[in-house]
Amino acid sequence: MSPATDEVLPLDRPLSEQTPPPGPSSPSIDDLPLTVIENRLGWTWADFAEMWRFRELFFYLTLRDIRLRYKQTALGVGWSVFQPLATIIVFVVFVGFLGNASGGMDRATYVLFVVAGVIPWNFFASAVQNAGGSLVSNERLVTKTYFPRVALPAANVFAAFFDFLICLGLFALIAIAYAATGVGVVVSWNLLLVPVVVLLLAALATGLGVFLSALVAAQRDFRFLITFGMQLWMFATPCIYLPPESYERWKWLLQFNPVFGLVYNFRACTLGGSMDWISLTIAATAALVAVVGGGIYFRRVERALSDTI
């Protein structure tokens, strides 16, 4: 038996003559993409091209927020229904029945009336509160890597929209059951305007959430003011729990509350009724101002965000 022979490379052979190991060759510096991060001076608007490049990151941030919200919970996604349901019970029992604020409605009709008001409000309040604290809760992510920071509050709005879709499906089942008995629901062409009202509600929540997230990052006191302010805002929007007859004389003033117009018209679209075009126009204008103003202010603060957060 002949002994095994191994090839031994001479040590004096130059490296250029040695055969490189098999495998893919490394790209040269000229083949790598070039990314330039520039400092934007003054007040500028969001870079939509940059946001589109990070669309996959935005998707996974939204998915992460949805998963973390219901991780290790017994009810899971059921919490998205339980939270507005608890608010509905409080309004129906303590405001409507015990407080005699149902305006002459029977109990079945008043329950449906409150459901149609609480669901859009709960989406708006949850989106604004979660988006407002998104930068502070993701401090390590903001300070360790670069990406469009506006994706964080926007992802929280879309996560709240996921809960809204679940509640909207439940509301549709309740409305169909009421319509079958001929109580509380009038189907009209206004139903086609529901996506428009929901889009304006999401735009208003996104604009305010982006603006408040920058404020909270700079001054943490605003984080507590958001929770307190949303509670006051809910009671300043009486169309959630009171019939129109209760605030008819103050309606001209309430129309300047953008959430009032959106909740009022959402109920008119889903349950049937006359649209309030004045309040809807004011709400659309407020949503546009919130998106533009919030985006510009966030872009201004974003430059020093890693140092101030």
pLDDT, one tens digit per residue, over 262-288 is 999 999 998 888 899 999 999 999 999
The pTM score is: 0.81
**Is 133 contained in some domain?**
yes
- Residue 23, domain member (yes or no): no
Residue, of 26 and 152, whose pLDDT is higher? 152
Mean pLDDT of 113-123: 92
- Indicate whether 41 belongs to any domain: no
In which band, very low, low, confident or very high, does the pLDDT at 119 lie, cut at 50, 70 and 90?
very high
- Report the mean per-residue pLDDT for the chain: 82
CA–CA separation, 12 and 231 (whole Å): 80
**In a domain? residue 290:** yes
Of 51-60, 67-76, 122-131, 186-195, which gets the smallest average pLDDT?
67-76
Q: What is the mean pLDDT of residues 60-73?
A: 83
- Locate 22 and state its tokens: 């098999």
> Is 85 part of a structural domain of the chain?
yes
Residue 297 maps to a domain: yes
275 lies in some domain: yes
Query: What residue numbers bound the domain in which 231 lies?
Result: 48-65+73-308
Q: Tell me if 153 is assigned to some domain.
A: yes
Structural domains counted in the chain: 1
